[in-house]
Amino acid sequence: MLTNILIGTSGFSYTDWVGAFYPQGTPQREFLGLYAAEFPIVELNFSYYRQPDPRTLERMVKNTPESFQFAIKAHQSLTHSIEENFTESAQTFKQGIAPLIESSRLAAILFQFPYSFHYTPTARKHLKNICSAFEELPAAVEFRNNEWLKDSVYDGLRSHHLAFVNVDEPALPKLPIPADTVTSDLGYIRFHGRNKKNWWTGDNTSRYDYLYTKEELASWLPLIRTIAKHVKLLLITFNNHRRGQAVRNARDLKQLLMF
């Protein structure tokens, strides 16, 4: 396996992982320690719903090995609304993740834009503001529609040293397709599952209810190896979290990359 690849999951504190991953009877306060015993990185999601509290992240740093890394999702005020208080929201977010930065445990800030974030002059200006505000930190941008898959966008990300997130998701019109695009020293791949039925109508659980076959994961191996050759660090996270499916697929991919 290439040594610059970290594989993990999007989130770790799911109660339906008890029995599927965590031993029966495991209290939630022990989830992160058990998770970090197997995986080298986790993608934190709570920060999308509320601005991160530095005290919470300090505890997470203390309860994980020194080599363990965190990717953290940007707050929704930075990705899902284009507001006049952008500067204030960005500063609050940076202050919240200070423990990750100061301990060198921040692998990436994930800016996940919604499908409704279209390629418009206003949206492009907002993206440029994000690039300028966060270019000194490891950061990555995920688009949910293919309007943004343009050389001009890639060039803009490169100029600010932000990573482009390559995704696996259902093969539906106007959604991005698997690719090996690299725009910085950081590579990022997110596996969302291929649940076509629930993608537009499901909630944050049913939408990602999908278990990849090993053949589906193997189809990504050439792309993964290409990206890994062109970056210092490649993050791969699985978002198909229902019933611990993300854990199973993370293990499957790790095994596939060892051959």
Residue 2: pLDDT above 80? no
Predicted local confidence at residue 38, as pLDDT: 97
**Could you tell me the two tokens for 167?**
């995704």
Q: What residue numbers bound the domain in which 73 lies?
A: 5-257
The pLDDT tens digits for 40-81 are 999 999 999 999 999 999 999 999 999 999 999 999 999 998
Q: What 3-state DSSP class applies to 151?
A: helix
CA atoms 201, 203, 206, 211: torsion sign: positive
Q: Taking the chain, what is the end-to-end CA distance rounded to the nearest angstrom?
A: 7
Q: What are phi and psi of 181, to 5 degrees?
A: -70, 135
Q: How far is CA 187 from CA 48, 135, 148, 226, in A?
A: 21, 15, 18, 10
- Average pLDDT along the chain: 96
The per-residue pLDDT for range 138-176, each reduced to its tens digit, is: 999 999 999 999 999 999 999 999 999 999 999 999 999
Q: What is the pLDDT of residues 207-235, one digit of tens each?
A: 999 999 999 999 999 999 999 999 999 99
Nearest to 188 by CA among 147, 150, 233, 219: 233
Q: Does position 194 have pLDDT exceeding 90, yes or no?
A: yes
Which CATH number fits the domain that encloses residue 180?
Answer: 3.20.20.410
Confidence band for 241, pLDDT divided at 50, 70 and 90: very high
Q: Is the pLDDT of residue 3 over 90?
A: no
What is the pLDDT at residue 259?
64
Q: How far apart are CA 136 and CA 16, in angstroms?
A: 37
Neighbours of 63 (CB within 10 A): 13
Task: Please give the pLDDT value at position 85.
Answer: 85
Query: What is the structure's pLDDT at 128?
Result: 95
The answer to pTM > 0.85 is yes
- pLDDT of 1 above 80: no
Which amino acid appears at position 7 of this protein?
I
Q: How many domains does the chain have?
A: 1
